[in-house]
Amino acid sequence: MTHPKTLVETLHGRKGDRTPIWLMRQAGRYLPEYRALRAEAKNFLDFCFTPDLAVEATLQPIRRYDLDAAILFSDILVVPYGLGQKVWFEEGIGPLLDPIVDTEALKGFETTRMIEALQPVYETLRRLKQELPADRTLIGFAGAPWTLTSYMIEGGSSRDFAKAKLWAYGRPDSFQKLIDLLVDAVAAHLEAQVAAGAEVLQIFDSWAGALDSAAMRRWSLEPIRAIVTRLKRTAPGVPVIVFPRGVGTGYRDFAEAGVGDAISLDQHIDPVWARDAVQRKCVVQGNLDPRWLVVGGEGMRTAIHGILDALGRGPLVFNLGHGCVPETPPEHVAELIATVRAYR
Ligand SMILES: Cc1c2[nH]c(c1CCC(=O)O)Cc1[nH]c(c(CCC(=O)O)c1C)Cc1[nH]c(c(CCC(=O)O)c1C)Cc1[nH]c(c(C)c1CCC(=O)O)C2
């Protein structure tokens, strides 16, 4: 049994006697029941836009494990899709998009159109709100403007972000237009999720670490700040977790700027450093290398204790430094949760 909304309490900075836990990508291919369900839709976006399937995928890890929260089953790329960009998922490759090359391409990209297109996502949240046990928290999410623009410009996943960075560094005024459009779209998507029942929000800036530190502040921190500032007005009381993955000492910039109620740390951050540089200013989340979940056993328990020893005395949400990988043995997730629950 989980206590009433431990996650929400912790995100408000009220540290109880229990560390809340959920895992990024806690739903997905490492679960056999997900792979069976996934076979019911031809392509991944259809799956995300079918509330019966998305509700079930969201609930699968909750049925198996003592987790404090369920995260909406969807994807960050529903935002460019909803705006009008061609987005599809290729088996074994990942996401593909018809890349945009200039701001001309943005004509016709409208937030109102996106909200219309994403109604099945909000329907999924409304149903989840009904079905989720009252003591579990419902998390909504979106990609941050920089990560979304990088997919929109590169046309898919990228190793070096060459095209997106050429545009951001070489044509900053034009790039700002793209970012501004996404600030509005992402904020509206998150507001709609709150209206449909999301109790906590997370903003994923998965590729923030690809930018140099000045560009990181301009294209990752500032747009996220603009979104969070708007949410504090339009969705007061809903905590926002910010995940600027890979920014290194930039995590301290986020903490000092007061962007978000909590900051999610990737596995490259030393948790002892983070205690002083980040946790003094805000709630922290994350930090366990997802590969420990593949390994399990004593090694994983030592890694978990390292994080709890460093950060467990302040407000902490236990999580991974990035998402669960498909090779994760499901029993290791149960082991991880039991280890965190048993820690004193
Ligand atoms: C960058 C990013 C994406 N999507 C997401 C991010 C940010 C987090 C991160 O950095 O990983 C976020 C995301 N994607 C998915 C969720 C669901 C909720 C959860 O966390 O359990 C969430 C929160 C489902 C998904 N999104 C995707 C899958 C796998 C597709 C399938 O099941 O066929 C799932 C379960 C597909 C996806 N979606 C994306 C990629 C690059 C891929 C392909 C890689 C892969 O296959 O793992 C874009």
Please tell me whether residue 244 adopts helix, strand or coil conformation. strand
Strand partners, 70: 138
Tell me, rounded to whole angstroms, the distance of Cα 12 from its chain centroid.
18
Ligand 1 centre distance from Cα of residue 64 (Å)? 20
The ipTM assigned to this model is 0.93
Please report the DSSP string for 160-220 in residue order.
Answer: S-HHHHHHHHH-HHHHHHHHHHHHHHHHHHHHHHHHTT--EEEEEETTGGGS-HHHHIIII
C-alpha to C-alpha distance for 60 and 152, rounded to whole angstroms: 31
Q: Check: CB of residue 294 under 8 Å from CB of residue 303.
A: no
Q: Which amino acid is at 58?
A: T
Beta carbons of 205 and 224 less than 8 angstroms apart: yes
Looking at domain 6-342, does it have CATH number 3.20.20.210?
A: yes
Q: How far is the CA of 110 from the centre of ligand 1 (A)?
A: 24
326 lines ligand 1 (CB under 6 A): no
Pick the catalytic residue: 25, 64, 171, 230? 25
pLDDT band, residue 79 (cuts 50/70/90): very high
d(CA 302, CA 300): 5
- Does the pLDDT value for residue 16 go beyond 90? no
Q: In what order do the strands lie in the sheet with 240-244?
A: 69-71, 137-143, 200-205, 240-244, 262-265, 283-286, 316-317
CB count, 10 Å around CB of 155?
18
Query: 166: Cβ–Cβ under 8 A, 6 or more apart, which residues?
Result: none
Q: What is the pTM of this model?
A: 0.97
Indicate whether 172 pLDDT > 70: yes
Tell me which residue has its CA closest to atom 14 in ligand 1: 75
Pocket test for ligand 1, best of 21, 25, 319 (most atoms within 8 A of CB): 25
Which residues touch 312 (CB under 8 Å, ≥6 apart)?
A: 19, 343
How far is residue 195's CA from residue 186's CA, in Å, rounded to a whole number? Answer: 14
Per-residue DSSP letter, 96: E
Centre of ligand 1 from the C-alpha of residue 344, in Å = 33
| Ligand 1 in reach of 4 Cβ (< 6 A) | no
pLDDT at 3: 52
User: Can you tell me the mean pLDDT for 95-123?
Assistant: 96
25 catalytic per annotation: yes
Whether ligand 1 lies within 6 angstroms of the CB of 75 is answered as yes
pLDDT tens-place string over residues 235-290: 999 999 999 999 999 999 999 999 999 999 999 999 999 999 999 999 999 999 99
**Helix and strand counts by DSSP (H, E) for the chain:** 17, 9
- pLDDT score for 4: 62
Kindly tell me the burial class for residue 22, based on how many C-beta atoms sit within 10 Å of its own C-beta (0-12, 13-18, 19 or more). Answer: buried
> Domains of the chain: which residue ranges?
6-342
16/50: higher pLDDT: 50
Strand-pairing partners, residue 90, are 94
Q: Measuring CA to CA, which residue among 121, 77, 115 is closest to residue 96? A: 77
Residues in the chain, total: 344
Tokens of 191: 């507001």
Q: Which of 122, 123, 97, 120 is nearest to 109 (CA)?
A: 97
Phi-psi bin for 288: left (phi > 0), alpha (psi -120 to 50), beta? beta
pLDDT confidence bin for 15, thresholds 50/70/90: confident
Q: Which atom of ligand 1 is nearest to the CA of 147?
A: 1
Please provide the average confidence, as pLDDT, over all residues in the chain.
97
79: Cβ below 6 Å to ligand 1? no
Query: Is the pLDDT confidence value at 1 over 70?
Result: no
- What's the CA gap between 184 and 310, in Å, rounded? 37
